[in-house]
Structures are given as C-alpha cells and as structure tokens.
Amino acid sequence: MDLNKVFRFSDGVQFFAFDEQSFIVDSSSCAVYDLGLSSALISAHLDGWRNLAVIVGVVKEYFNVSSAAGAEAVAKFIKLMEENNLIEETI
C-alpha cells in the first residue's frame, strides 16, 4: 500500500459520524453502509483529505496497535471502499 496516496469519497458519497454507529450514504445507488469503529475513524480522516500514512498513524494510536496492524486495517478498508466505488484517489 502506497502510504502517500490520498483518497476522497466519490461524488454522492457522504460519511456521517456517529461514533460506533457511524455510516456512509451513497446517494447514487441509494445505499447505506454501516461502519465499525475503526472504519468510522478512517472515514472521518478520509473526509479531511489526509494521506494514508497519517490515517494509519491515527488508527495505530487510537487502538494502541502496531504500525503493521494499523496499515492492514486501513488497507482492508480502502480496498473494500474502492471495490464499491465509494472512494477515489485524488491527485
């Protein structure tokens, strides 16, 4: 995973922070996706247009896990979101 990459939510996709009940709405497909706590944390920072290195750092610190575990959680989330066209890479 290239940690310098920056992603943003695709058009029509919006993140709503409600702590452990956070969710994402995709207006184009009229779908709602529930997020776990770590996904919500990643989404909140994704919304702020931070690069993946920053987000991995936040996850690592928040959950008190190793860098590798933090990076794995972020990579898994990004992959899932990309597969569903919910996020796109920014330049």
Partner 1 sequence: MKLAVVLPLFSEREFTDFLGINLIVNCLRKQGHEVDCLDLNVALVDFILTEKTILQKIGEARVSAFGGAENSPYHEYLRHYYKHLAEYKNAKQLKDSHLYDYFFQSVILESFAGKLISQSANPVGNSQLNEEQSGLAEFFSSLMGDFEKSVYEAVLVSIPHYNQLEPGLIFVKKLKSICPDVKIIIGGSTITLLDDQVLLDYVKNGYFDYYVKYTAEDKLTALLKALSEGSGVEQEWLARKVDTDIDSQTMVYRPEQNRSAVPILFSRGCYWGKCSYCTYIQLDSGKFTRKSLDVLLDELEQFSGKPVRISLITESLTPADARSLAEGILKRRIKVRWGSFIRVNANFDAALFSLLRESGCIFSCVGVESVNDKILSFFNKGYKRKEVYQFFQAASDANYRFYQVNFIYGAPVANLSDELENLAFISSFRKTIGNIAFFKFEITEHTHLAENLDKYDIKLDPQSSVTAVRVGNLPFVYSLSEDEMNLLEQAYARAGYYFVAQDVKLSIKALQGAGDRPLPLSGDVLFSQAGQFYLGSLRTPFLAPISPDLFQALSRTPKPPVREFSEGNLKQFFDLKLLDREATFWETFAD
* Nearest C-alpha neighbor of 23 from the set 11, 36, 9, 12: 36
Distance, C-alpha 46 to centroid of its chain: 5
Residue closer to partner 1 by CB (options 30, 91) is 30
Chain positions contacting partner 1, by CB under 8 A: 14, 16-21, 23, 25, 27, 30-32, 34
Please report how close the Cβ of residue 34 comes to partner 1 at its closest, in angstroms. Answer: 7
Residue closer to partner 1 by CB (options 19, 83) is 19
Residue closer to partner 1 by CB (options 24, 55) is 24
Burial (CB count within 10 angstroms: exposed 0-12, middle 13-18, buried 19+), residue 33: middle
